[in-house]
Structure 1
Amino acid sequence: MRLPLLALAAAAFGIGTTEFVIMGLLPDVAADLGVSAPAAGMLVSGYAIGVAVGAPILAILTNKWPRKTALVGLMGLFILGNALCALAPNYALLMAARVVTAFCHAAFFGIGAVVAAELVPREKRAQAVALMFTGLTVANVLGVPFGTAFGHALGWRSTFWAVTVIGVAAAAALVAWLPKAIPMQAGSILREFRSIGAAQVQLALLISTLASVSMFTVFTYIAYILRDVTGFTAQQESMVLLLFGAGITVGGLAGGKLADWKLMPALASLLAAVAVVQLVFSWTSHFPVPTLFTLFVWGMVSFAVVPATQVRVLDKAKGAPNLASTLNQGAFNLGNATGAWLGGLMISAGLPLTQLPWLGAAVAALALLAVGVSASLDRGGPVAA
């Protein structure tokens, strides 16, 4: 079943590249379209809101579709959205194109995670999900830094054309390698929505949201931090993002193994590490070499959380795997939008960029608290105040 997982990872690579590469190109986009840094940052929020809004809509529309048909169709929407981004003549139309692109995101990762988990034995589920999400992490290792460098050299629109080509190649891999008949759990979409209302499912979605808020409060504005605080040039920024992406790749794979071993203790430890690393980054961001080490570790612990939260949602929503997995992607991107918005508020208020990691660390602590509440409910004991 390696080729189907690789096809899912290839599509994840394209989706991850278009989601994250904009952050390295924000100064270029802002200058070209004549908007401020917080306004450019809203392109990140707009994409994330599109994911969050599109999650339930696409979950309903694709509920009865064969899974292979749904995944290939969603990649078609992805290709269209990126081509529109490359063609957008102004900020408003670029924002609209980003939202169109985002609509496929949650449903693809949601359905894809369920498919990945069903292609392997139960004890390998988190590792299979992590392998699919390796496409997302490789997007950060290769897609984001090289897409950023490509955009700096040839203009930011060229990056979106390149991602469009990646989308076409990924769609072809899905057609060629996914099994024709992928098992589907029969059931009513209304029953699935009722299952989502369970307290433990909602807590799992909250953990995903808060983990994402913590990361994107800072990462949305990483280009400005690297240039204005650390002192890297635009060309050096691409190589720094390459190192961050390497950390993400290591973390994503390690997170899958940790989640298959002991999910909740691993999740709690990782969120605590995220908080500590962000506090450290508020200081190391002033110095080039310590920044490199900190970004690698931050990428590693931040993305080690992803497979754990995905499997936690699947475990607690057995009656609604497709919807729960899709909504978890919406939750992650709601956190993405919220983090970008909160960071923009801090910048607009005149606070220094070095204070963004403090807010990120505080949100990671809230996510850790939510893990503690959920673990207490697992034990059947009282929830600690």
Structure 2
Amino acid sequence: MSALQSNSRLIPLGLMAAGTFAIGTDAFIVAGVLTEIAAALRVGPAEAGQLISLFALSYMVFAPLSAWLLGNINRRRILQLALVLFIAGNLACAWADSYLQLALGRVLAALGAASFTPQAAAAAGTLVEEKRKGLAISIVYGGMTLAIALGIPFGTFLAHVIGWRDIFLGIAALGGVALLGLSWVLQDLPAPGKHSLRERLAPLRQRAVLSTLLITFFAVSSEHIVYSYVSVLLRDTRLGVEAILPLALLVFGVGAVIGNAVSGVLTDTLGSRLVLLVSIGIQTLSLFLLAFYAHSPWWVLGIFLIWGVTGWMYLVPIQHRLLSLSKRFGALTVSLNSAVLYAGIAAGGMLGGLTLYSLSVTVLPWLALPLGLAALLLTAVCFRKEPEHG
């Protein structure tokens, strides 16, 4: 492949990564600016936190629905439509005068995000030769990882300087760059094709697949019952005169990059069962320690680093396991796991919000403990008799 051809493929991949970076930042930025949104809209932190759950729940519903409805449309057109919806949703959030308007903006942004990310990953694989498909897909999803590492902590810091509304405007602008760029450089791509609802749910007939998806649900719920309200949990924690939250989120993001980088190698070397047991076990312990050390800045930074590493280690072995269990419906099985992941985010945020109506935020790490232990127990039991590699 010539250098010119290589560059012509890298540009659309980079633009897709810019889109997933904007989506990743948008999905979780509310956690970093939750107290500011709550104050501006005159609602409690519990209500503001439900905006995270609303986005996640909408994504969970819209991802398979949009894939089904848009299955016969040119994939380039799908990406354009998705980004238009995403931009419109974030503009609605930036200009919202009420909680309801902001909530509707989050739903619209989630519709765009759910339509864009899976199609961008699939499109990336069609732009390169077979042996480079993995690299192309990793570039697209790398935007999401970079959002966790840099977009969310930097956005949280900027929100304290310029205001949370401008953060949503910035996200919309980044989506606009991706839209204009892809409209300019991306060629027409074949329609993805449709799968019936029966085909999409076929993997659930396997008990081992269902139990593995439950591991995802409990592990993610455990994590996001705390993450969704981390700005409330760390509201009074400072390092010197500076609030610890932006730095803690940055440290978490660095940990996420490390965890994502090593998880594949560790899964291939040690097997999915051991990686899952270690990552979920350490994450559960880290979250529980926040019940005691949330007001100690150095403890917080250490916990967030370990949490970031382990929280981004367990998804790869879970997907490895699902692919080995359901070779015939591999792609559909992984898409189900993505839906369950967002269901876990929504459930964690909702449970945390309901808790804050009557109890202190310091209770949330205690609630994360049984959810994490449920994921750990399922891993220990369900992986016991299964081969590590399939």
Superposed, 1:195-274 pairs within 5 Å as 195-228=203-236, 235-261=243-269, 262-274=271-283
Query: 133, 142, 154: which is aligned to 1:146?
Result: 154
**Cα distance between partner residues in 1 of 2:61 and 2:173:** 26
**Residues 1:86 and 2:86 are matched in the alignment:** no
Which deviates the most, 156-165 or 167-176?
167-176
For 1:365 and 1:123, the matched residues in 2 are separated by 38
Structure 1, residues 8-27: CA drift from partner, whole Å, max 9, x if none? Answer: 43222111101111111111
Taking a change above 3 Å as real, the CA distance of residues 48 and 68 of structure 1, as seen in their structure-2 partners, is: same
User: Which moved further from structure 2: 61-70 or 268-277?
Assistant: 61-70
What amino acid is the match of 1:56?
Answer: P
Q: Structure 1 pair 355/103, CA: closer, same or farther in 2 (3 Å)?
A: same
- Find the residue that maps to 1:342 and give its secondary structure: helix
Q: Give the counterpart letter for 1:169 in structure 2.
A: V
Between 85-94 and 235-244, report the one with greater CA deviation: 235-244
Q: Is the 8 A contact 1:193 1:320 kept in 2?
A: no
Distance 1:176 1:316 in 2: 41
- Residue 342 of structure 1 aligns with which residue? 351
**1:279 alignment counterpart:** 288
| Shift in Å, 1:116 | 5.6
Distance (Å, rounded) in 2 between the aligned partners of 1:307 and 1:8? 21
For residues 48 and 142 of structure 1, the distance between their equivalents in structure 2, rounded to whole angstroms, comes to 20
Match of 2:42 in 1: 34
Q: What letter corresponds to residue 23 of structure 1 in structure 2?
A: A
Q: 1:18 to 1:186 in 2, by over 3 A?
A: closer
Q: CA deviation at 1:342?
A: 1.5
Counterpart in the other structure of 2:173: 165
Taking CA–CA contacts closer than 8 Å with sequence separation of 6 or more, which of the two structures ends up with the larger relative contact order?
1
Q: Which moved more, 1:29-38 or 1:284-293?
A: 284-293
Which position in structure 1 is the counterpart of 2:3?
none
Deviation (angstroms), 1:72: 3.6
Q: Among all aligned residue pairs of Structure 1 and Structure 2, give the percentage whose two residues are the same amino acid.
A: 31
**AA matched with 2:289:** V
Residue of structure 1 equivalent to 2:298:
289
Matches within 5 A, 1:54-73: 54-73=62-81
Q: Which residue in the other structure is 2:108 paired with?
A: 100
Residue number in structure 2 paired with 1:383: none
* Superimposed CA distance per residue, residues 103-143 of structure 1 (whole angstroms, 9 cap, x where no aligned partner): 23344333444556776868985x76555433222112221
Superposition TM-score, scaled by structure 1 size? 0.86
Distance verdict in 2 for CA 1:10–1:218, change over 3 Å = same
Aligned partners of 1:110 and 1:328 also within 8 Å: no
Distance 2:66 2:264 in 1: 27
Cα distance in 2, alignment partners of residues 112 and 29 from structure 1: 31
Alignment CA distance shift 1:187-1:348 (3 Å): closer
User: Which residue of structure 2 lines up, in the alignment, with residue 363 of structure 1?
Assistant: 371
Letter in 1 for 2:256: I
Q: 2:25 aligns with which of 6, 17, 23?
A: 17
- State the one-letter code of the partner of 1:334: A
Q: How far apart in 2 are the matches of 1:123 and 1:317? A: 24
User: Cα–Cα, structure 1 residues 194 and 218, in superposed 2: closer, same or farther, change >3 Å?
Assistant: same
> 2:240, 2:69 → 1: CA distance?
46
Deviations 1:32-62 (A, max 9, x none): 1110111111111111111122123112113
Inter-partner Cα distance in structure 2 for 1:181 and 1:244 = 37
Cα distance, 1:252–1:179 mapped onto 2, change above 3 Å:
farther
2:236 and 2:295 in contact (8 A); partners too: no
* Residue number among 294, 297, 300 corresponding to 2:309 in the alignment: 300
Supply the distance in 1 between the matched residues of 2:237 and 2:244 (Cα, whole angstroms). Answer: 14
Moved more, 78-87 or 106-115: 106-115
Change in 2 beyond 3 A, CA 1:177/1:361: farther
Q: Cα offset for 1:82? A: 1.0
Residues in 2 aligned to 1:93 and 1:172: alpha-carbon distance in whole angstroms: 27
1:52 has 2:43 as partner: no
Q: Retained in 2: the 8 A contact 1:71–1:108?
A: yes
CA distance in 1, matches of 2:267, 2:183: 30
Instruction: Report if aligned partners of 2:244, 2:297 keep a CA contact under 8 Å in 1.
Output: no
2:148 is paired with a residue whose SS is helix
Q: How many residues align?
A: 378
